Amino acid sequence: MTDLTLIIGNKNYSSWSLRPWFYMKQQGIEFEEIRVPLFTPEMESQLEPCFSDNKVPVLIDEGYSIWDTLAIMEYLADKFPENVSWPAYSKARATARSVSAEMHSSFVDLRNEMPMNCRVKYSDIAFSDGVEKDIERIIALWRYCKRLYGQDGKWLFSQFTIADAMFAPIVIRFKHFNIPLQGVEAEYAEMVYNDKYMQQWIQAGRQETEIIEADEL
C-alpha cells in the first residue's frame, strides 16, 4: 500500500509524464498510477482538483498536490533522502542540476518538430536549423557529463540521477527519428532505450488507442 499517486497523461505522447514515472521506477518508489488521456472532454474535470492548470504530471502525497516534473522529483528526493537523486560531489551535483534545468526550459524547436511518439519511427525527416542546433547541444551535454562524471557507471553521472530522467524522452525521440549517434552518446541512448522500465513505458504507449493529431507527423 502506498500513499503516493502519480497522475500522468498518454504514455505514447507525454514526455513530461515519463520523466517522474521513470525516476520513481528506477528508485524503487512505490506509487499508484492514474492515466488521464490528454485533450479529451473529461480531462479538465479530472485534473481540476490537482490545481495544476490542467497539466500533467501531478504527484499526490496524502492529498497534497505537487505539479511540474522537476518539482515532483525534487520533492521525492527530499522525501526519500536514502536514494541517490543528485550526485554527491558538489560540482557534479551543480552540473546535473544545470543540465536538468536546461532540458526543462530549452530545446523549443526540437520539442515542436520532434514530438515524442512511441508508436511511430521515422526516417529521412528534414529538420530546421534550430532542431539541428538543439540536437548538437544535447549530444554535447551528454558527452560533457560522461567525460567529467560518468566514467564509473552507465548513467550520465555514473549512478542514476534526476538528470537521466530529464533526458529519457529525448532518447525515445532520437531513436524514433533515427538521429545518427556515435560513441558515448550512442551507447548511452541504447542503454536508456533498452532499460526495462523504458521498454515498459514504450510498450504501454504503443497499446494506447488515442490520437493527438498535433503529435503525429
Tell me the domains of the chain and their CATH numbers. 4-83 (3.40.30.10), 90-200 (1.20.1050.10)
Record the pTM: 0.97
List, for residues 8-56, the tens digit of each pLDDT value. 999 999 999 999 999 999 999 999 999 999 999 999 999 999 999 999 9
Give SS3 for 93. helix
Q: Which residues of 167-178 are buried (b: 16+ CB within 10 A; e: fewer)?
A: bbbbbbbbbbbe
Total Cβ atoms within 10 A of residue 89? 12
List, for residues 150-168, the tens digit of each pLDDT value. 999 999 999 999 999 999 9
CB contact at 8 A, 94 and 157: no
